[in-house]
Chain A
Amino acid sequence: MRSLLRSRLATILLTASGAAFAEGESKTTLGGYAEAEYVNPVAGPFAKSHADVHRLVLFVAHGFDDKLSFHSELEVEHVLTELSKKSTTVTTIDKVSANGDSVKTKSGSVLTDVSSPGYVAVEQAFVDYRLGTTAGFRTGLLLVPVGIVNETHEPNTYHGVHRPLYANSFIPTTWRDLGIIAYGNPVEGLHLKGGVMAGLSGSKIGGASGLRSGRQKGGKSNAENLSLVARAEYTLPFAKLGLGSWFGGTSGGDTAIGDGNFDGSVLVVAGDVRAEYQGLFVRAEGGVIELPDAEKLQAVHKKNPGERMVGGYVEVAYDVLPLLLPETEQALLPFVRYEKIDTHFEVPSNVVGNPANSQTQIVAGLTWKPHSQVSFKADYTWLRNETGIGGVDLLKLGVGCSF
């Protein structure tokens, strides 16, 4: 429910910039979301707790008319990003004294770059053109339409302080790049979309986080490998079903892998279900990622990619508050989520399979929603891997909202 700035402000700004089309139906909308967290590693190798404003995101959208609009999402993660200079005093041997000792004198300082933990990113920026009431296309920096959380990632839309592990190390949320996607509703309840996007980079795909480091994020993306994306969604009275897919090369034109469009290819197929009934919420996602050229990617880039990755989770939540307060507008939802991902489910002959990449996570906690767009969260997370070592337990508290 974003506040409309239909407003004088928009009119004045546009008029001031010389544009004459501020009249009529055109309008600018502001929105955003934010999430803050406290994470305490109760058990495991990381000993230190942290507190963080994980994300602050601003949406700006502008409707030029009923059909043509611009949408953008600008994000700051971890509060600040700056490249500061750290001054280090350097001492140099200036001369040797008469008794043979060296006499050190300060000769100045050296400045080294130190970067803060945060970063600023454009997550979406596209123009949407609706050609009818049920179809259209959008082009620019777009979200990849695979998985629930990649497209709908506001903190009040998922349980737990952090997004699911599946939406981090399997579907590399927030996965976006430049492209063009057409969409339409051929029959009531069915929403289809499909298009072409700039590809992943095979030079960094591998290890426990799978595709995650292979995202190019739309900043001067190498566009040698145009990828195909598609998603189908079907809405039933109590559930929504989704199936998304990505297929594209990752070679970036590197002839050692192949300079064909689909060389070093990655195929992602992922399905999802969201069901709600009388305060009971069930979600499940699952998918498989195939890298038939993993052996070539390993030979060139040596990042230990799996040839097949698998992952999925099931989550159940129930709103208990109406049992106690039948008239309440608020919601209090205990939830539990069980996740499993393995980015080394199968490995090529030149990669040694790492059992640490087979991870199981259980998150149990509570979401309190005094409003549908505001969530206070608490959870306990058990993260384990197949080696039996390096597991962590986390106690997390968080707050998030979107508007």
Chain B
Amino acid sequence: MADVALDARISEKAKLALRRIFGAASRATPTLLEAKFGKRPSWTVRGESGAIVGAAVVDEVPGKSERITILVASGPDGRLKDLEVLAYRESYGGEVAQEAWRAQFRGKKPGDPLRVGRQIRNISGATISTNSVSAGVSRSLPVLAGLLGIP
């Protein structure tokens, strides 16, 4: 699996997403994470008091013919806090970025089944994107738990 590097534009979108998810007062410290599936840009995030409030990682998953870049953010308990689509490069099937679809992942913990069509709704006509993004969240959650020191 390929490593993921961020260009300036996506890097800026990731910073905005972190501020949205963890609050404007939070401070994200970048770390380079070497997962089994490749190197991933990631952050540990501290709140105003200095306590760790979560962690986030950027993953890239295949769409129908273009990559989809997502940011997966966990709270201090390792459960998914939010998911953001940083870049969707295809013309059709962009519904995975919709709030109602992303909301289904909130609160999921590492190892939770995220099967499209069961725990996660499919979007007709966007089957490849929905399966890919679910798989990206599935593999990112344990990696974030590792970053947060959760066994």
- List A residues at the B interface (Cβ < 8 Å): 1-2, 4, 6, 29, 31, 59, 61, 63, 66, 69, 71, 128, 130, 133-134, 136, 138, 148, 151-152, 157, 183, 185, 188-189, 191, 233, 235, 237-240, 274, 276, 278-279, 319, 322, 327, 329, 331, 372-373
Residues of chain A within 8 A of B123, CB atoms compared? 235, 240
Contact yes or no, B87 A235, CB < 8 A: no
- For chain B residues 89-124, which have a beta carbon within 8 Å of chain A? 89, 91-92, 94-95, 98-101, 113, 115-118, 121-124
Q: A2-B65, A157-B127, A372-B116 are in contact. List 12 more A-B contacts (CB 8 A).
A: A1-B62, A59-B65, A71-B65, A130-B91, A133-B88, A133-B94, A138-B91, A183-B92, A235-B98, A240-B123, A276-B124, A329-B115
* A61 touching B65 in the complex, CB below 8 Å, given contacts A189-B95, A235-B95, A319-B117: yes
Residues of chain B within 8 A of A191, CB atoms compared? 92
Residues of chain B within 8 A of A327, CB atoms compared? 113
The contact of A152 among B66, B88, B125, by CB within 8 Å, is B125
Contact yes or no, B100 A66, CB < 8 A: no
| B132 interface residue (CB < 8 Å to A) | yes
Residues of chain B within 8 A of A238, CB atoms compared? 121
The contact of A63 among B66, B101, B116, by CB within 8 Å, is B66
Contact yes or no, A4 B62, CB < 8 A: yes
| B52 interface residue (CB < 8 Å to A) | no
Residues of chain B within 8 A of A278, CB atoms compared? 118
- Shortest Cβ gap from A2 to chain B (Å): 6
Expressed in whole angstroms, the Cα–Cα distance for A369 and B30 within the complex equals: 41
What is the number of residues of chain B that contact chain A, defined by CB distance less than 8 Å? 31
* A63 touching B125 in the complex, CB below 8 Å, given contacts A331-B117, A372-B131: no
Q: List 28 A–B pairs whose Cβ atoms lie within 8 Å, in order of A's numbering.
A: A1-B128, A1-B131, A4-B67, A61-B65, A63-B66, A63-B89, A66-B89, A69-B66, A130-B89, A133-B88, A134-B94, A148-B125, A157-B127, A183-B91, A185-B94, A188-B98, A189-B98, A235-B123, A237-B121, A240-B125, A274-B124, A278-B118, A279-B118, A319-B117, A329-B115, A372-B127, A372-B131, A373-B128
| B64 interface residue (CB < 8 Å to A) | yes
Residues of chain B within 8 A of A189, CB atoms compared? 95, 98
Expressed in whole angstroms, the Cα–Cα distance for A237 and B121 within the complex equals: 8
A-B contact count (CB 8 A): 76
Residues of chain A within 8 A of B62, CB atoms compared? 1-2, 4
* B54-91 interface bits toward A, Cβ cutoff 8 Å, 1 = contact, 0 = none: 00000000101111000000000000000000011101
Contact yes or no, B64 A128, CB < 8 A: no
For residue A2, which residue of chain B has the nearest CB?
B65
Expressed in whole angstroms, the Cα–Cα distance for A191 and B124 within the complex equals: 13
For residue A331, which residue of chain B has the nearest CB?
B117
